[in-house]
């Protein structure tokens, strides 16, 4: 049975972020994981995934990004991926402060856009020793939105953003818009269902968040992730939001060690099943291999004059 999480707050560059900390029963420090959610989730939704890792002996910190869910920050719903990168890194710092966690063995896991955010965090922060991305979505925000709503849709979006810019220039707040309008069988009511299940969830964001998504392109940096191990678990079934082509494009640019697993499930198949068990087994195996069994790289000490003299005698 998975223990109930400890609700914690941690500092992310001056803003207090909320986290659910799950700790396994252990005699000493264990490897730790920071879990990040998608745009249509809050940290409580990560309770579906966290128990798999806790049962495998990992400490887990499931986070809410700034301005979202239980985290602080105003205005609410600023969905800025670059800031979420910082929140992942702050989560690493928090885990390293916990005596139950092996500070040298911390990995990142993210779902949907949270996965590409996790990758960019690991590119910038070598304290992240391993990354798993589940149902990846946004690797180039501009291209992603064009595939989602078409060029005409992005054109209309840009006109609306121009109006919003003028509103902000004149001292008003950015407009509030739905975070995501899902269409299609089994997913159309997902935002309403999320709000019903998780009281802190709001299906809205500031309109200027769209500008930040348009300019978010972690695939341009993913080649710099190596040698940090990367596992992508992608959806191979019908899925207009976690597009397989996006995952394959980014994966091709990543260095080794890396692995891409394409599972034959649709848009929600790796969230609620039937592919959840399979995806989580892959993720646990990857973290187990690279956080528990792999020797971590160590730097060669800088030689002193005395040590050099001793070696030459």
**Of 44-58, 174-188, 261-275, which one has max mean pLDDT?**
44-58
* pLDDT for residue 35 is more than 80: yes
Residue 201 banded pLDDT, cuts 50, 70, 90: confident
Short-list 92, 10, 23, CA closest to 54: 23
pTM beyond 0.75: the answer is yes
C-alpha span between 274 and 272 (Å, rounded): 7
Confidence check: pLDDT of 300 > 80: no
The gap from C-alpha 19 to its chain's centroid, in whole angstroms, comes to: 14
Do the bridges between strand 101-111 and strand 128-134 make them parallel or antiparallel, or are there none, so unpaired? parallel
Q: How far apart are CA 235 and CA 245, in angstroms?
A: 10
- Identify whether the C-beta of residue 105 lies closer than 8 Å to the C-beta of residue 291: yes
Spell out the residues 6+ positions from residue 89 whose beta carbon is closer than 8 angstroms to its own: 121, 124, 125, 127
**Rounded mean pLDDT, 291-300:** 74
Which residue did the predictor score with more confidence, 281 or 268? 281
C-alpha pair distances (Å), 49 with each of 197, 278, 283: 16, 12, 10
Contact 188, 177 (CB under 8 A): no
pLDDT at 49 over 50: yes
Give CA–CA dist 153/144, Å, rounded: 12
60's enclosing H/E stretch is strand 59-63
pLDDT at 187: 47
d(CA 194, CA 113): 17
- Please identify, in words, the CATH class of the domain defined by 6-312: alpha beta
Q: pLDDT above 90 covers what percent of the chain? A: 77
The pLDDT confidence band at residue 268, using thresholds 50, 70 and 90, is: confident
Whole-number pLDDT of residue 39: 85
Question: Average pLDDT of 123-138?
Answer: 97
pLDDT in tens, 57-112: 999 999 999 999 999 999 999 999 999 999 999 999 999 999 999 999 999 999 99
- Residue 150: which residues within 8 A CB-CB, separation 6 or more? none
pLDDT value of residue 203:
81
Task: Let me know how long the chain is.
Answer: 313
């Amino acid at each position: 049975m998975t223990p109930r999480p400890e609700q914690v707050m941690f500092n992310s560059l001056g803003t207090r972020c909320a986290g659910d900390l799950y700790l396994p029963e252990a005699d000493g420090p264990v490897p730790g994981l920071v879990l990040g959610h998608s745009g249509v989730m809050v940290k409580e939704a990560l309770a579906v995934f966290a128990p798999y890792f806790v049962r495998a002996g990992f400490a887990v910190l499931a986070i809410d990004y700034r301005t979202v869910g239980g985290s602080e920050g105003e205005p609410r719903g600023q969905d800025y991926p670059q800031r979420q990168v910082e929140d992942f890194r702050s989560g690493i710092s928090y885990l390293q402060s916990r005596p139950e966690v092996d500070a040298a063995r911390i990995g990142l896991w993210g779902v949907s856009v949270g996965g590409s955010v996790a990758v960019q965090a690991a590119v910038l922060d070598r304290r992240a020793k391993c990354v798993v991305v589940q149902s990846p979505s946004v690797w180039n925000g501009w291209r992603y939105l064009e595939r989602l709503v078409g060029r005409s849709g992005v054109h209309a979006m840009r006109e609306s953003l121009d109006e919003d810019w003028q509103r902000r220039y004149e001292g008003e707040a950015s407009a509030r818009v739905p975070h995501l309008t899902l269409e299609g069988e089994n997913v159309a009511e997902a935002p309403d269902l999320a709000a019903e299940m998780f009281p802190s969830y709001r299906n809205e964001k500031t309109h200027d968040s769209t500008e930040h998504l348009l300019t978010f392109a972690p695939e341009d940096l993913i080649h710099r992730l190596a040698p940090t191990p990367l596992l992508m678990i992608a959806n191979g079934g019908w899925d207009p939001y976690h597009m397989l082509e996006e995952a394959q494009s980014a994966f091709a640019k990543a260095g080794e060690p890396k692995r891409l697993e394409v599972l034959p499930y649709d848009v929600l198949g790796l969230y609620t099943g039937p592919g959840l068990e399979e995806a989580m087994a892959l993720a646990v195996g990857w973290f187990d291999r690279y956080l528990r069994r792999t020797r971590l790289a160590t730097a060669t000490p800088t030689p002193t004059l005395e040590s050099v003299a001793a070696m030459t005698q």
